[in-house]
A and B are shown apart, each in its own frame.
Chain A
Amino acid sequence: MKEKGAKLEYIGVDDNGELLLDQLDSYLETGKVKLVAFSQMSNVLGTITNTEEIINKCKKSGVKTLIDGAQSVPHMKVDLEKLDCDFFAFSAHKMLGPTGVGVLWVRKNVLETMDPFHGGGDMIREVHKYETTWNDLPYKFEAGTPSIADVIGFGAAIDYITTIGMDTIRNHEIDLTKYALEKMSQVKGITIYGVKDVLKRGGVISFNFHDVHPHDVATIVDREGISIRSGHHCAQVLMERLEVAATNRASFYIYNTKEDVDKLIKSLEKVAELYKL
């Protein structure tokens, strides 16, 4: 970015973690914006971004859009044709697939204007001593021997979750999240982050418990059989905005049940007991 002289700007969020889209309007008005990048669902707060609105605004201003779907694609129905964005990325390991592979989808007419970013087998059509021509799409971007087994595994994972049905998965998570938010907000000393409306969020719940450091909470509940994530979730900028060093995050998927939520709450009682809270 420095090389190209590009400047990075952020769209802020309100106290619930929802994007302040008025700020997007002001940025677009400058006429200097080249690319708007955002996640469709926050992996920290679960916030579902109003993706259509952002894309429509950007399209009106002739600005390209890049969407991080790593958190959204595994948990809700996403229709790329309808969204009509320019770039869209998601990862296999977030949707029961293998690690190390994912999808970067790029609109064809955008791809055609791009040069390969690294070299290797398969990407080349003709090689002469001083000149090479690139292979057709998508090969020119897929240099080297691909991770074939992992991609096939990824395909199996996609088949598996689409057989269950993305709406079924989403509804299951809405149920669980609603139940968990209700139960967890009754726990003394808990702070829950993000919007309260379950239709506006996915199945992750970030929280803090009294002033116990999230790493301590996570280790204690882990030993009670509940795995949660603790830390900054690769979102240090958001942590700063929330004025916390780190959070705990409970996250749900198709295999989770209400009993798991009860168990989490019970294990928080264990934290309270150890810390005499």
Chain B
Amino acid sequence: MSDPIYTEIIIDEAKNAHNVGTIENPDISQHDANPMCGDDITLQMRINNNEISDIKWHGDGCTICKACTSVLTQMVKGQNIEFAKNLKKEEILSELGLQHLIKQSPVRIKCALLSLKALKLGLYSYLAKKIENSSSVDSLKEDASKLY
């Protein structure tokens, strides 16, 4: 029998998702979507002294997408950018007992990781804008290439 996906934790997390809403004049606003299935979310962040002082999200998606987005926002809120940049997919998935999706469900894993993708895309675009010299551009690029 396959590992459970639709546990009470996940369904409750999706139904009562955290950090839903919008931020006015956010420092980062990143939209991303899975065109094949219709998951569609926007993550917004306020950055203060290299810290994600606030994060909110809105959009539409399936239970897996919503639950993972909710968990992700709770994990990075109040943390510094470095922590969020290094967040691994396994850390999000294990929070909800969904590590098995990596091997067992190439389709649904995209729902689970959409918010992480948006988070990293948003952070890297933000960091890229603040960069002054080209050597740090290279290290940022190298960093980004290791993401998945």
Contacts and interface: CB of A to CB of B under 8 A. Distances in A.
A213 interface: yes
A231 B35 CA distance: 10
A81 to B, nearest CB: 39
A52 B6 CA distance: 48
B35 to A, nearest CB: 9
Contact of B38 (A220, A223, A232, A274): A232
Interface in A199-219: 212-216, 219
Contact of B62 (A216, A223, A274): A216
Contact of B2 (A212, A213, A223, A232): A223
B37 A246 contact: yes
B61 interface: yes
A49 B111 CA distance: 36
A254 interface: no
A275 interface: yes
A11 B36 CA distance: 25
A220 B37 contact: no
B6 A220 contact: yes
Nearest to B60: A245
B6 A215 contact: no
A231 B36 contact: yes
A53 B108 CA distance: 43
B63 interface: yes
A274 B6 contact: yes
Contacts of B108: 215, 219
B61 A213 contact: yes
A215 B36 CA distance: 11
A41 B28 CA distance: 46
Contacts of A274: 6, 11
B63 A213 contact: yes
B102 interface: no
B2 A231 contact: no
B64 interface: yes
A120 B69 CA distance: 50
26 contacts: A212-B63, A213-B61, A213-B62, A213-B63, A214-B62, A215-B37, A215-B62, A215-B64, A215-B111, A216-B6, A216-B63, A219-B5, A219-B6, A219-B105, A219-B108, A220-B5, A220-B6, A223-B5, A230-B37, A231-B36, A231-B37, A232-B38, A246-B38, A274-B6, A274-B11, A276-B11
10 A-B pairs with least C-beta separation: A213-B62, A215-B62, A245-B38, A216-B63, A274-B6, A216-B62, A246-B38, A215-B37, A220-B6, A231-B37
Interface of A: 212-216, 219-220, 223, 230-232, 245-246, 274-276
